[in-house]
């Protein structure tokens, strides 16, 4: 199963979320076969839509097995895997801690030839953004079992998270050659997207989706949602919406699809629909970025106090997470501080982004670092940081917009205009770049 982060699939909430999503999206009629929208392929899920497997009963059964046979290393690996799966659905990070406990105990009981335990610990390390450790554990497995699918997946996601795009690409190519299924293609598509290879990424998303089967409910929804996100980042709102509604048909209540559908509606100016969808997405899974996105929309509509309330709520959640374990992400805290715009907190944003570029020096981290440096009026350093983000090859309108603001801050207006134009070429619906371009 492809590693999916934080999916809440409670059936009652899911059905309510789906109904509201369809209502707010204007009850988009789903095609009865794959079709073209805005020149983009929108594939329909042709298998019977079934709810994802229930996990509570298997967890209870496996916990009982562990209590009955505490010396079974394999039972502990099985239990840890179930804990991780449930954590991915619910966002309950305490289950990751439980998975780590079982994985370590399994490795104590069976120190050699225990690839399952090492992969559990690799996935725990990924969740904590400890990518070097995840890579080390995955490579240990591959020494004994070359080509092991789980280890290859961990390598790709860890290299991608760390920003090692060349290594991620090489490993993803091998994965597609060895395991030409949906999950492998989705992984390679993510790598291609990070490299700025849009056409190749779209081709891989579509190829992977064409290979889905009845047991790929979660990955099928995830793949369409990722493809929708890519189209949204290019301003292709109709194609993005169609993919998102199809994702929600496959996996009712899927929080990521709901949040992106909210973004589609916001781009269209359907602000009431967008705000309701952000609320539903957050209720489906309490992820701080959904509050932040909602806050950004409120601010754009002049509701400054409403925006601050949502951002403060997100900040409190992130800080609580960071004090309770190694899960709070420095980038998330930096982002909410920067969006709050409190000059008294800029030193903390600088500290958090400095930490994050050391932990995972990828494009996102360098972009946030550039933002923090800009707000501190350290313009030359900000330029260096945003250039590191752009050097990855990623085609992101927000990064180009940030580069434009930095050049504007340095007094280089022709360069600023060039960056704003590049941002709008990628995403003609990007309002911030439009406004910046008009002002100059």
Q: What is the pLDDT of residues 243-282, one digit of tens each?
A: 999 999 999 999 999 999 999 999 999 999 999 999 999 9
pLDDT of residue 52: 87
Q: What are the residues facing 41 on neighbouring strands?
A: 36
pLDDT of residue 81: 98
pLDDT of residue 29: 43
Residue 427: what are its φ and ψ, rounded to 5°? -135, 95
Residue-range domain boundaries for the chain = 11-270, 358-439
The domains spanning 11-270 and 358-439 adopt the same CATH topology: yes
Asked if the 11-270 domain carries CATH number 2.40.33.10, the reply is: no
Contact residues for 51 (Cβ-Cβ < 8 A; gap 6+): 9, 11, 217
Tokens standing for residue 160: 């991608």
Contact residues for 411 (Cβ-Cβ < 8 A; gap 6+): none
pLDDT of residue 237: 97
User: Could you give the dihedral angle defined by the CA atoms of residues 422, 426, 431 and 433, in that order, rounded to the nearest 10 degrees?
Assistant: -10
Q: Which residues of 113-131 are buried (b: 16+ CB within 10 A; e: fewer)?
A: ebbbbbbbbbbbbbbbbbb
Contact residues for 184 (Cβ-Cβ < 8 A; gap 6+): 172, 175, 176, 178, 208
pLDDT of residue 28: 39
Q: Which CATH number fits domain 358-439: 3.40.50.12280, 1.25.40.10, 1.10.3720.10, 3.40.1160.10?
A: 1.25.40.10
How far apart are the C-alpha atoms of 257 and 325, rounded to whole Å?
A: 28
- Inter-helix orientation angle 237-250/255-268, to 10°: 150
CA 319, chain centre distance (Å): 20
How far apart are the C-alpha atoms of 284 and 291, rounded to whole Å?
A: 12
pLDDT of residue 184: 97
Question: 63 exposed, middle or buried (CB, 10 Å; 0-12, 13-18, 19+)?
Answer: middle
pLDDT of residue 13: 32
Q: What's the whole-model pTM score?
A: 0.90
Only one residue has tokens 């079982």, namely 102
Q: How far is CA 72 from CA 80, 86, 101, in A?
A: 13, 22, 14
Sites in the chain below the pLDDT cut of 50: 1-32
């Amino acid at each position: 199963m492809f590693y999916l982060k934080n999916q809440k699939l409670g059936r009652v909430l899911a059905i309510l979320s789906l109904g509201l999503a369809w209502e707010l999206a204007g009850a988009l009629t789903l095609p009865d076969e794959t079709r073209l929208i805005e020149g983009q392929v929108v594939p329909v899920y042709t298998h019977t839509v079934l709810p994802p497997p229930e996990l509570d009963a298997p967890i209870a059964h496996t916990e009982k097995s562990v209590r009955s046979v505490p010396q079974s290393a394999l039972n502990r690996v099985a239990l840890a895997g179930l804990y991780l799966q449930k954590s991915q659905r619910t966002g309950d990070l305490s289950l990751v801690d439980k998975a780590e406990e079982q994985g370590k105990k399994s490795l104590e009981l069976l120190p050699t030839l225990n690839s399952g335990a090492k992969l559990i610990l690799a996935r725990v390390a990924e969740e904590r953004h400890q990518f070097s450790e995840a890579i080390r554990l995955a490579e240990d497995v591959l020494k004994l079992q070359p080509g092991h699918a789980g280890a290859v997946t961990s390598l790709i996601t860890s290299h991608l998270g760390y920003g090692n795009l060349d290594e991620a690409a090489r490993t993803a190519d091998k994965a597609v050659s060895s395991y030409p299924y949906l999950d492998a293609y989705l992984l390679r598509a993510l790598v291609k997207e990070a490299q700025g290879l849009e056409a190749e990424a779209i081709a891989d998303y579509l190829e992977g989706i064409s290979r889905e089967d009845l047991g790929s409910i979660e990955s099928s929804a995830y793949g369409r949602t990722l493809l929708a996100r890519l189209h949204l980042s290019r301003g292709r709102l109709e194609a993005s919406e169609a993919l998102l509604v199809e994702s929600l048909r496959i996996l009712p209540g899927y929080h990521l699809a709901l949040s992106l559908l909210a973004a589609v509606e916001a781009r269209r100016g359907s602000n009431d629909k967008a705000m309701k969808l952000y609320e539903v997405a957050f209720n489906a899974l309490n992820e701080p970025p959904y509050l932040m996105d909602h806050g950004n929309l409120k601010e754009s509509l002049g509701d400054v106090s409403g925006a601050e309330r949502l951002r403060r709520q997100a900040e409190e959640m992130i800080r609580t997470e960071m004090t309770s374990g190694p899960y709070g992400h420095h980038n998330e805290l930096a982002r909410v501080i920067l969006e709050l715009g409190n000059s008294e907190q800029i030193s903390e944003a600088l500290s958090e982004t400095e930490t994050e570029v050391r932990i995972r020096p990828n494009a996102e981290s360098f972009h946030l670092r550039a933002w923090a440096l800009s707000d501190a009026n350290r313009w030359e350093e900000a330029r260096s940081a945003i250039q590191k983000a752009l050097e990855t090859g990623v085609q992101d309108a927000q990064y180009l917009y940030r580069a434009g603001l930095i050049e504007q801050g340095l007094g280089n207006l022709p360069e600023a205009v060039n960056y704003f134009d590049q941002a709008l070429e990628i995403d003609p619906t990007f309002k911030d770049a439009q406004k910046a371009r008009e002002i100059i």
